[in-house]
Amino acid sequence: TDFPSTKLPVIYYDRRFLYHRTTSDGCRYKCIFTNITQNLSQDDVAVFSERFSLEKGIFLKKRGVLLAFETGECPIFAPSLLPAHLRQIDLFITYMAKSPVPYVYSVFVRNKNPKYRFTAEETALMLSKNYVHLLPPHHKGRKKLVAWAMSNYRPRNNRIEYASAIAKFIPVDIFSRNGTQLPRNSNSFHLLSLNYKFYLAFENSNCRNYITEKVYFNAMQCVTIAL
């Protein structure tokens, strides 16, 4: 149900910007965002993304404010919290599928009229069609095979070794601050997509449900096949 019109929920964020995607029609709930905790009262929410002072937590809890902790990082790289912090937090906002409030890297819209199985005739028809028109206009100009942009040099998996092993069999161009650098602007991954067909979307850790912007933005949004 919608919130009562008499009092809109006030949400405090300790971040300088909000990184949350919604569907194209936006969110039907109306809220007020603030960067000042003094504005909060009963049933409002304070969202922290870093370790906060226990005194501030006590102050907010006494005013009836819900405390939330948000992180889009995996458990290995997420900010550490003391047991005293954990006792103050009412809910967590993470990328995990079972998170009380999801930290959304991408949104998938459910097909309300799914078709579970194609008939043989439908399958044959799909296979007979030419789908080249679905490729981006610049696809024919893509002369290179695989690209990878790497920023974290201390991953908790063997992605660097794995990429090096792949490069023994097919060309893999690696971009990093210590090597070939990408332009520092919002079009850098689009520029990669103009020349490369595939993108290595390796995460820095092998954690359950941990699929981030490396897949959804760096590759898929730029119409490059993610590996």
Distance CA 116, CA 106 (A): 24
142 and 206 together in one domain: yes
Q: In this predicted structure, which of 12-16, 51-55, 93-97 has the lowest mean pLDDT?
A: 12-16
For residues 62-88, give the mean pLDDT: 94
**126 located within any domain:** no
What's the total number of domains in the chain? 2
Domain carrying residue 179: 133-226
In terms of DSSP bridges, do strands 66-70 and 91-94 run parallel, antiparallel, or are they unpaired?
parallel
Note whether 157 and 205 are same-domain residues. Answer: yes
Give the whole-number percent of the chain exceeding pLDDT 90: 49
Whether 112 maps to a domain, the answer reads no
Are the C-beta atoms of 197 and 142 separated by less than 8 Å? yes
Q: Quick check: is 44 in a domain? A: yes
What pLDDT does residue 46 have? 95
Stretch 98-112: mean pLDDT: 84
Q: How confident is the model at residue 23 (pLDDT cuts 50, 70, 90)?
A: low
Residue in the block written with tokens 């490369």:
196
- What pLDDT band is residue 21 in, cutting at 50, 70 and 90? low
81 occurs within a structural domain: yes
